Amino acid sequence: MEEIPKTNFSLKDVVSISDFKREDIEAVLNVAECMEKLPKERKSSLLKGKIVASLFFEPSTRTRLSFETAIQNLGAGVIGFADAKVSSVKKGETLSDTIRVVSGYADIIVMRHYIEGAARLASEVSSKPIINAGDGANQHPTQTLLDLYTIKKAFGKIDGLTIGLLGDLKYGRTVHSLAQALSLFDKIKLAFISPEELKMPEHIKEHIKGIKYEEFTELAAVLPELDVLYVTRIQRERFADPAEYEKVRGKYIVNKESLKGAKECLKIMHPLPRVNELSPELDQTKYALYFEQARNGVPVREALLYLLKDVRKW
Ligand code: NCD
């Protein structure tokens, strides 16, 4: 019978990738791999009797639905909302009060919020683990874990790869978390490809300064070196000035033409949703990894829920 690996996973909350050590990441990836092999009946007993809250103050499709799938696969119950308009937030309740109350009902809280730092604040007032499912333009650690899982499955390793992050590196939380996580691996080279206005923030570059990275404004300048091209959408909703968005929208369109000169083994990833930056003509090519990436959200989130299921912070 398949054994779930024992790990030294050290976190009580999953708020930011900057809290992870490499061995925490490896713990999640190893348990996720096991989750894919466990028989359904065995899996459905792992969180039996537990309640997981799913609080989404911002829109979501993949993250919320893969979490809720993972929760149900593990046999837990789920409570929560997909739209804060139906919660007491509408009446003016503070986030701390909402979280304090929900932590009295649930064993784990998964939350997405539009304010940077909201998950950290929640983790300070919740006696139960908080899993950050995205906080504004800041962090999206669970997306990163499934991204790493996807890379490892495709290449058999993460060390030594050259990875291009393309698009909105300023407001895209997925690329902030991913760059930080990749900096924990060996011999990684990163290429940040973005318009001048949407470059990777200084604090992230400061955080990863131990690894090799370079910045580009054109994909063609670095494409032949890449093993992975991680494409992101321009985060329209985060622009204070719509005219600024208009200046950069449509700047990159990745299609068959723009991939001329790519390595045979190149894989294209995208956290989705896509707008126009990734052409559907690539969906049936050997490059496309993004739908598999979205599917991997389920075992990775199962692993996280499993690793946090018995944590009590005080
Ligand atoms: C991302 C997000 O919410 O940050 N989506 C996701 O979780 N898969 C990416 C995005 O919205 O562009």
Q: Are residues 155 and 266 in the same domain?
A: yes
Same-domain check for residues 155 and 290: yes
Q: Both 94 and 160 in a single domain?
A: no
Q: Which of 43, 50, 228 is nearest to 153 (CA)?
A: 228
- Summarised one tens digit per residue, pLDDT across range 50-100 is 999 999 999 999 999 999 999 999 999 999 999 999 888 889 999 999 999
Instruction: Report the distance separating Cα 81 and Cα 96, nearest Å.
Output: 16
CATH code, domain with 47: 3.40.50.1370
pLDDT at 314 over 90: no
**Selected catalytic residue, list 7, 12, 62, 205:** 62
Which tokens belong to 182? 């990749």
The pTM assigned to this predicted structure is: 0.98
Are 155 and 133 in a shared domain?
Answer: no
Whether the CB-CB separation of 139 and 16 falls below 8 Å is answered with yes
249 and 264 housed in the same domain: yes
| 131 in the same domain as 194 | no
Contacts of 230 (CB under 8 A, 6+ apart): 147, 163, 164, 165, 166, 175, 178, 268, 269, 270
Do 178 and 246 share a domain, yes or no?
yes
Q: Tally the domains of the chain.
A: 2
Hey, is 224 helix, strand or coil? helix
Which ligand 1 atom is the nearest neighbour of the CA of 112? 3
Quick one: 96 and 171 in the same domain?
A: no
Do residues 65 and 131 share a domain?
yes
Lookup result for tokens 């139960």 = 128
User: Where does the pLDDT of residue 238 fall: very low under 50, low under 70, confident under 90, or very high at 90 and above?
Assistant: very high
For the Cβ of 134 lying below 6 angstroms from any atom of ligand 1, the answer is: yes
pLDDT in tens, 153-200: 999 999 999 999 999 999 999 999 999 999 999 999 999 999 999 999
Same domain, 88 and 207: no
pLDDT at 246 exceeding the cut of 70: yes
Q: What is the pLDDT of residues 204-214, one digit of tens each?
A: 999 999 999 99
Give, using CA atoms, the residue closest to atom 8 of ligand 1.
271
For residue 46, the enclosing domain spans: 17-140+297-308
